[in-house]
Amino acid sequence: MKYSLVTILVFCISLVCFFLSTQARWHNHTKHKHIRHPHKLSNISHPPSPAPAPSDPSNDGNSHDSTGLFDVRNFGAVGDGVADDTEAFKMAWDTACQSDSAVILVPYGFSFMIQSTIFTGPCQGGLVFQIDGTLMPPDGPDSWPKNNSRRQWLVFYRINEMSLQGGGLIDGRGEKWWNLPCKPHKGINGTTLPGPCDSPIAIRFFMSSNLTVKGLKIKNGPQFHFRFDNCRNVHVESIYITAPASSPNTDGIHIENTNDVRIYNSVISNGDDCVSIGSGCYDVDIRNITCGPCIGSLGNHNTHACVSNVTVRDSVIKASDNGVRIKTWQGGSGAVSRITFSNIHMDNVRNPIIVDQFYCLTKACTNQTSAVFVSDILYTNIKGTYDVRNRTMRFCLQ
């Protein structure tokens, strides 16, 4: 059984949910400094467009060629899945970052293990991070270096105009993180299981703009697979995210304080929200995805939360606990407004439509007088099948 797709605006599939949360996480990596270059913001293209083809991994033995291709192997990366290739990736990034329209190549047929790293800008415009091989972190908490942050694995910080793309695989190797005895979560047949507390986010973009994520496969993230914080103009296209239904807190895509977001033509099947939308997000368009979106968990700890102008359309939600869901904590403030769910097909969804303004992870939450204001919510052409043991619509407004 799966969760919802977007939290606050939740439309969930296969334990996939769009989740809105009010608190952003801060990273504490050591930053690599670069010379600042001016950039001109570019517009994000609209779908559909095909996934990028793998690049030719051949080269002339130099660190880069005349076309601006920077193969990580030419900086010392081994690519056997065992050797630590972190420094080679850092050197490739530092060099490519100072070149116009550079391409960092993770070549096909190789598996690269790198530790928790922050790739810092600003860089010259048009940077492409082309993943055609396999990229993976250390295998579980016991292999994670003690001096490295456990909050996230790979961070892209202060980047303008970058594409993370390719036909390769990002393997989060999250299996050993999911059973840490810290966070309770829903298990099979209504059971409660332990989960991670400080498990790393797989890929995080922070304070960046004009971003494209395209064509990639990512699986088994220790926690969230992608997270965008304080970003602008984000285009996610033709990606495939997968994790077991019982994997805790493995949201597919989480956005927070981020605007002008396009998520198109993707499949997300995981153990939590498919797409979760946190506080401070507006102008979000989600189209032609298979999973479960969710807008929610707004107003936690009496905070102020605002989400507006979100559209989820032409999508499918399968075998999920929740379909389209909006959830807020009691005692919060702010507003959720101008939310549209249109042309959604649900296949065996337990709770197709939910608006919950008394969201609580335990039974000990006390009722409070203030709440996040919910208005201008539109549902059109919501069809499919549901679990007959539950109501098709639920409104929790204690």
Q: Domain of 90: which CATH number?
A: 2.160.20.10
Q: Which of 225, 256, 287 is the last residue of a domain?
A: 256
Distance CA 154, CA 125 (A): 20
211 and 122 assigned to the same domain: yes
pLDDT at 96 over 90: yes
Q: How confident is the model at residue 297 (pLDDT cuts 50, 70, 90)?
A: very low
387 and 287 assigned to the same domain: yes
Q: Which of 202, 227, 256 is the last residue of a domain?
A: 256
Q: Determine, yes or no, domain membership for 265.
A: no
Instruction: Tell me which of 78-87, 125-134, 313-322, 366-375 is least confident.
Output: 366-375
Q: Determine, yes or no, domain membership for 266.
A: no
206 and 344 assigned to the same domain: no
In eight-state DSSP terms, residue 216 is -
Annotate 157-187 with b (16+ C-beta within 10 A) or e (fewer).
Answer: bbbbbbbbbbbbbbbbbbebbbebeebebbb
Q: Determine, yes or no, domain membership for 261.
A: no
More confident residue, 125 or 34: 125
More confident residue, 170 or 186: 170
Give me the mean pLDDT over the 248-270 stretch.
94
Q: Which of 207, 231, 256 is the last residue of a domain?
A: 256
Q: Determine, yes or no, domain membership for 264.
A: no
Nearest to 177 by CA among 100, 84, 244, 80: 244
pLDDT at 156 over 80: yes
165 and 71 assigned to the same domain: yes
Give me the mean pLDDT over the 64-70 stretch.
75
Q: How confident is the model at residue 43 (pLDDT cuts 50, 70, 90)?
A: very low
145 and 278 assigned to the same domain: no
3 and 142 assigned to the same domain: no
More confident residue, 39 or 373: 373
Q: How confident is the model at residue 191 (pLDDT cuts 50, 70, 90)?
A: low
Interacting residues of 169 by C-beta distance below 8 A, sequence separation 6+: 131, 133, 134, 135, 216, 217, 218, 219
Q: How confident is the model at residue 302 (pLDDT cuts 50, 70, 90)?
A: low
Distance CA 367, CA 319 (A): 32
19 and 69 assigned to the same domain: no
What is the distance in angstroms between the CA of the first residue and the CA of the last residue of the chain? 26
Give me the mean pLDDT over the 101-111 stretch.
98
Q: How confident is the model at residue 356 (pLDDT cuts 50, 70, 90)?
A: confident
Q: How confident is the model at residue 390 (pLDDT cuts 50, 70, 90)?
A: low
Highest mean pLDDT among 23-37, 162-176, 325-339: 162-176
173 and 249 assigned to the same domain: yes
Give me the mean pLDDT over the 12-23 stretch.
35
Question: Would you list the DSSP string of 236-287?
Answer: EES-EEE--TT-TT--SEEEES-EEEEEEEEEEE-SS-SEEE-TTEEEEEEE
What's the whole-model pTM score? 0.79
Give me the mean pLDDT over the 239-255 stretch.
91
Structural domain including 69 reads: 30-256
Give me the mean pLDDT over the 1-19 stretch.
41
Give me the mean pLDDT over the 134-149 stretch.
93
Q: How confident is the model at residue 17 (pLDDT cuts 50, 70, 90)?
A: very low
pLDDT at 264 over 70: yes
Q: Determine, yes or no, domain membership for 7.
A: yes
Q: Determine, yes or no, domain membership for 5.
A: yes
Share of the chain above pLDDT 90, in %: 52
pLDDT at 363: 63
pLDDT at 336: 86
pLDDT at 304: 60
Q: Determine, yes or no, domain membership for 262.
A: no
Q: How confident is the model at residue 180 (pLDDT cuts 50, 70, 90)?
A: confident
More confident residue, 27 or 232: 232
Please identify which residue in the block is written with the tokens 């209504």: 190
Residue pair 13/271 in contact by the 8 Å Cβ criterion: no
pLDDT at 392: 53
Residue pair 108/162 in contact by the 8 Å Cβ criterion: no
114 and 171 assigned to the same domain: yes
Give me the mean pLDDT over the 285-296 stretch.
75
pLDDT at 26 over 60: no
pLDDT at 22: 32
Nearest to 51 by CA among 297, 278, 236, 249: 236
20 and 46 assigned to the same domain: no
Q: Is beta strand 253-256 parallel, antiparallel or unpaired with respect to 226-229?
A: parallel
Q: Determine, yes or no, domain membership for 189.
A: yes
Q: How confident is the model at residue 265 (pLDDT cuts 50, 70, 90)?
A: very high
Strand partners, 221: none
Distance CA 213, CA 171 (A): 16
Count of the separate structural domains present in the chain: 2
Highest mean pLDDT among 21-35, 113-127, 329-343, 370-384: 113-127
219 and 312 assigned to the same domain: no
12 and 99 assigned to the same domain: no
